[in-house]
């Protein structure tokens, strides 16, 4: 009755088991080969570690070097990648760039055209890490591919930002202006002052996510040259832009005049209260100390915590907190005061 079905299932099972066996054999062979390759790469790495390091420091390479094997290339890739994380000096970085441009750029150019997404991504990572500037035009072309994934797009823009690409502002403001705020932030983090300022000039015309990212970066750089710009942005905007500007001002820890910000300690928005508390703490603004101490009673934990930290920044901060801890009936305020007395306030 079921002969057909049984026959079918037996065939199916047998077929599947054989496929699995074939896969197993393939994977075992691959694992074996990989182990061999791994150890060969390790050998190359041990062999070339010193010359490569020497080259990165001095810029001169003694032995005549050819990269004729894949494993050799991977050894260099891994050595350079290791040093790219630890080397800080400008000369060393330029040497690394030179080395990578000579020995690895063709390889990455090829990889950018790979059919595999992961291979293209790897190439992008290394191009950025080693700063292979000869591939700049290549990246611009890469951006224009018909099918490009979001990750590739963001990464390519990051690279162009790091290379301070000539037409970067036009490219981003006109063509690639629909990314998210976090994506723009990783991109803008790589711009030098000239290009960054160009974006600030066009600030009002840019879409909101770019504005947020720019303001965030100012807070991150803590650069007082952008102070006037940020204060303007705070005064002239509403909503999220205003909060982000305030956040950057609080991070910079300095403003021309504290007056416009004092009323924020009573803002109905808890973020504004918290950021204002941070700002007056950095400024050690005496006239605000009482109000700051009041914020220890705030219903929002973040505000209380920031208030405690800011009070501690004042020379007499410890005594003020001690007084709160001894006298208040508000358990949350006491808790926070004690916590910051113990922490000592030196933590950012």
Partner 1 sequence: MNGIMETIGHYFAYFILAYMVIVISFYAVVMIISVFQLRKEYQLDRDQSFGDYMEDIYTRPVSIIVPAYNEEAGIVQSVRSLLSINYPSFEVIVVNDGSKDGTLEKMIDQYEMQEVQKVVRKQVDCKPIKKIYQSALLPSLYLIDKENGGKADALNAGLNISHYPYICSLDGDSVLERDAFLKVMKPIIDSNEEVIASGGSIRIANGCDIQNGNMIKIGLSNHPLVIMQVIEYLRAFLMGRIGLSRHNLLLIISGAFGVFSKHWVVEAGGYKTDTVGEDMELVVRIHRLIKEKGMNKRIVYVPDPVCWTEVPEDITFLRRQRRRWHRGLFESLWTHRKLTLNPKYGPIGMISFPYFWIVEFLGPIVELSGYLYIIVSLFMGGIYIEFAILIFLLSCLYGSLFSTLAILLEEWSLRKYPKVSHLLKLFLYSLTETIWYRPLTVFWRCQGIWQMLRGEKGWGEMKRKGVSQ
Binding stretches for partner 1 (CB under 8 A): 1-3, 5-6, 9-10, 12-13, 16-17, 20, 23-24, 27-28, 31-32, 116-119, 121-122, 125, 180-182, 185-186, 189, 216, 220, 301, 305, 331-332, 334-335, 338, 342-343
- The answer to whether 255 touches 279, Cβ cutoff 8 Å, is yes
CB of 257 to partner 1, least distance (A): 28
Q: Looking at beta carbons only, is 84 or 310 nearer to partner 1? A: 84
Q: What is the dihedral of CA 121, 124, 125, 128, to 10 degrees?
A: -170
CB of 30 to partner 1, least distance (A): 9
Q: Looking at beta carbons only, is 132 or 289 nearer to partner 1? A: 132
Contacts of 97 (CB under 8 A, 6+ apart): 130, 131, 132, 133
CB of 23 to partner 1, least distance (A): 5
Q: Looking at beta carbons only, is 250 or 288 nearer to partner 1? A: 250
75 exposed, middle or buried (CB, 10 Å; 0-12, 13-18, 19+)?
Answer: buried
Rounded to whole angstroms, the Cα distance separating 187 from 185 reads 5
CB of 290 to partner 1, least distance (A): 23
Rounded to whole angstroms, the Cα distance separating 204 from 212 reads 12
R_g over Cα of the chain: 29
Tokens linked to 208: 């909101």
Q: Looking at beta carbons only, is 16 or 47 nearer to partner 1? A: 16
CB of 275 to partner 1, least distance (A): 12
Q: Looking at beta carbons only, is 158 or 242 nearer to partner 1? A: 158
């Amino acid at each position: 009755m079921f002969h057909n079905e049984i026959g079918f299932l037996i065939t199916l099972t047998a077929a599947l088991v054989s496929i699995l066996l074939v896969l197993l054999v393939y994977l075992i062979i691959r694992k074996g080969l990989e182990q061999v390759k791994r150890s060969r790469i390790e050998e190359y790495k041990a062999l070339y570690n010193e010359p490569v390091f020497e080259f990165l420091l001095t810029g001169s390479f003694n032995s005549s070097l050819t990269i004729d094997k894949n494993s050799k290339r991977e050894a260099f890739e891994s050595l350079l990648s290791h040093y790219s994380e630890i080397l800080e000096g400008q000369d060393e970085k330029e040497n690394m760039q030179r080395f990578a441009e000579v020995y690895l750029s063709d390889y990455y150019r090829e990889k950018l055209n790979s059919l595999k997404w992961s291979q293209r991504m790897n190439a992008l990572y290394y191009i950025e890490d080693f700063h292979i500037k000869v591939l700049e035009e290549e990246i611009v072309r890469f951006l224009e591919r018909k099918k490009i994934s979001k990750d590739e797009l963001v990464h390519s823009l990051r690279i162009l930002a790091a290379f301070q690409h000539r037409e970067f502002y036009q490219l981003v403001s006109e063509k690639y202006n629909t990314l998210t705020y976090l994506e723009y932030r990783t991109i803008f983090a790589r711009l030098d002052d000239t290009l960054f300022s160009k974006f600030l000039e066009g600030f009002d015309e840019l879409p909101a996510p770019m504005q947020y990212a720019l303001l965030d970066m100012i807070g991150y750089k803590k650069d007082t040259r952008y102070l006037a710009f940020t204060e303007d942005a705070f005064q002239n905007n509403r909503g999220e832009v205003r909060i982000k500007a305030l956040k950057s001002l609080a991070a910079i820890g300095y403003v021309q005049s504290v007056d416009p910000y004092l009323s924020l300690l009573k803002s109905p928005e808890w973020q504004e209260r918290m950021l204002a508390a941070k700002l007056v703490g950095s400024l050690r603004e005496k006239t605000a100390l009482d109000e700051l101490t009041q914020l220890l009673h705030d219903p929002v934990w973040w505000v209380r915590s920031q208030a405690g930290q800011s009070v501690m920044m004042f020379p007499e901060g410890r005594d003020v907190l001690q007084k709160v801890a001894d006298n208040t009936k508000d358990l949350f305020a006491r808790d926070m005061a004690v916590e910051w007395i113990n922490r000592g306030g030196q933590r950012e």
